[in-house]
Amino acid sequence: MKDPNLSRRKFLKLSLKGAGAAVIGGSLLARENDNPRPAKAQYMGGFAAPKLKTVRCGFIGVGARGSGHLAWAAKHPGAEVVAIADPHRSAVEKNLATLNELGKTGVNIYIRGRNDYLSMLENEQLDLVFISTPWAWHARQAIDCMKNGAHAMVEVPLAVSMEELWQIIDTSEKTQKHCMMMENVNYGRDELMFLNMCRQGAIGELLHAEAAYIHELRWQMEHEEHGTGSWRTLHYAKRNGNLYPTHGLGPVAQYMNLARRDDTFKSLVSYSSPARGRKLYAKANYPADHKWNKLDFTCGDINTTIVKTALGRTILVQWDETSPRPYSRLNLVQGTKGTLAGFPTRIALEEADFHRWAEGDGLLPYYEKYEHPLWKRIGEAAKKAGGHGGMDYVMRYRIFECLMNGLPLDQNVYEGAYWTAVGILSEKSVKEDGMPQQFPDFTRGEWQNTSPLGIVS
């Protein structure tokens, strides 16, 4: 089937090569000269590391997310759990008990403070490290892992500043180690099917997408000393923008092949609503002198960001972890021949009655025709294992499958940087009353030569 984006892609490449590149590309080429690729560096888009017969794993942070990664690796026949680093002894002991139940012993632990993970990296021979720590630690820990010879698998977001994103990319390229932001939503059943439908041209040329993370999380404020709320709550007081863009954005960015040959991120504008919900929640649920009532929650309850791509396509990205409303990631992609949407899953194609959504049992023919081959292969096992509907299982499965077979990872370091950068740039746009913000070209021009993510079997 003819690629519906082919003519546009040719136009974009010719435009970027011509005299109008500075206008059409915006800041896409701006960082090439002032941030050159490190000496003896390797472009990591499509990079395949040498095969690993056994993946020796370390874990930095074994709380809610980290313990899931550890338990999964402990059951994988190709993985060896080597070491754990976490300053919270209770979390470490809980995971050691899990390992003992599985007959896994001899795991070394590093619990002497937050920086003891460095001792783990220096003392152990690790192939892969899972990083499941507060956001502010992600970049430095990923960089330290790669410098010590390990691939870094990082929970979202990848970093909290643009400088950190460039440091991660430079380190990955220089060490030739993967740094993947583990965007698990890309591995959901419907997200994989939508990807397959987009690749097969089912909705024609892609024009627009909508992504979100709408998830009421005020209850996390109960985590006062240890747990997500103990540090995440502070971000609402210090920052204002889209603090968590990647869950909704990751899938639609891959539908559109952003930063992979067809198109890339160009600019965004962003606005936040007034900040009300956190203050009201703290006042209603905690004493007046409680530390949460002493915070000035400056982050708007809901943020709306609009991304424009180099081809002129648009993406609406929303974030709201405060308002009393049902969960949603939107997950909508619109093309010249139809629209795919989530929450609930719906499909409207020009070839059918597009004035009415196909949903519920009406989706069965689409699952039959477009179910992603990867979900066909391991979907039943993923559903039994659980973990956000099976997406965690599929993500971890693919990480090990790729590393053990010498295949490129499904998400490269540049995608993690772009998806994270939406949040960072949104803060700047909000501060400047919605002024457009330009994306740097994290690939230094190589995105035009990077193949789209394939439909793996």
Choose one of 165, 182, 199: the last residue of a domain: 182
Are 193 and 113 in the same domain?
A: no
pLDDT in tens, 239-279: 999 999 999 999 999 999 999 999 999 999 999 999 999 99
CA distance 278 to 300: 9
The CATH number that applies at residue 153 is 3.40.50.720
92-106 pLDDT, tens digit per residue, is: 999 999 999 999 999
Cα(173)–Cα(131) distance, rounded to whole angstroms? 19
At 154 the three-state DSSP class reads strand
> Does one domain contain both 294 and 337?
yes
Q: Note whether 181 and 157 are within 8 A (CB).
A: yes
What are the structure tokens assigned to 399, written together?
A: 């990480």
Instruction: Report in angstroms the alpha-carbon separations of 198 from 130, 194, 333, 411, 427.
Output: 31, 6, 9, 17, 31
Q: In the predicted model, what is the mean pLDDT of the chain?
A: 93
Predicted confidence (pLDDT) at residue 420 exceeds the cutoff of 50: yes
pLDDT of residue 21: 37
104 lies in some domain: yes
Please check whether residues 156 and 190 belong to one and the same domain: no
Which pLDDT score is estimated for 37? Answer: 85
Residue 18: pLDDT band (50, 70, 90) is very low
Rounded Cα gap, residues 35 and 44, in angstroms = 16
245 plus 156 within the same structural domain: no
Residues 161 and 208 in one domain: no
Q: Which of 182, 197, 232 is the last residue of a domain?
A: 182
Do residues 256 and 384 share a domain? yes
% residues pLDDT > 90 (the chain): 90
Residue 11, pLDDT above cutoff 80:
no
Based on the structure, what is the number of domains in the chain?
A: 2
Q: In this structure, how many other beta carbons lie within 10 angstroms of the beta carbon of residue 57?
A: 28
Q: What is the mean pLDDT of residues 271-290?
A: 98
Which pLDDT band, with edges at 50, 70 and 90, does 439 fall under?
Answer: very high
Residue 358 lies in a domain: yes
Residue 45 covered by a domain:
no
Q: Are residues 289 and 226 in the same domain?
A: yes
Are both 251 and 309 inside the same structural domain?
yes
User: Are residues 168 and 235 part of one domain?
Assistant: no
Give the pLDDT band (50/70/90) at residue 12: low
Q: Is 11 domain-assigned?
A: no
SS (H, E, C) 398-450: HHHHHHHHCCCCCCCHHHHHHHHHHHHHHHHHHHCCCCCEECCCCCCCHHHHC
Is 368 part of any domain? yes
Query: Residues 27-55: pLDDT tens digits?
Result: 333 444 357 888 889 999 999 999 999 99
Determine the pLDDT at residue 387. 84
Give the end of a domain, one of 115, 147, 182: 182
Asked if the structure places residue 39 within a domain, the reply is no
CATH number at residue 316: 3.30.360.10
Q: Are residues 175 and 195 in the same domain?
A: no
Give me the domain span that covers residue 106. 55-182
Assigned domain for 30 exists: no
Q: What is the pLDDT of residue 38?
A: 83
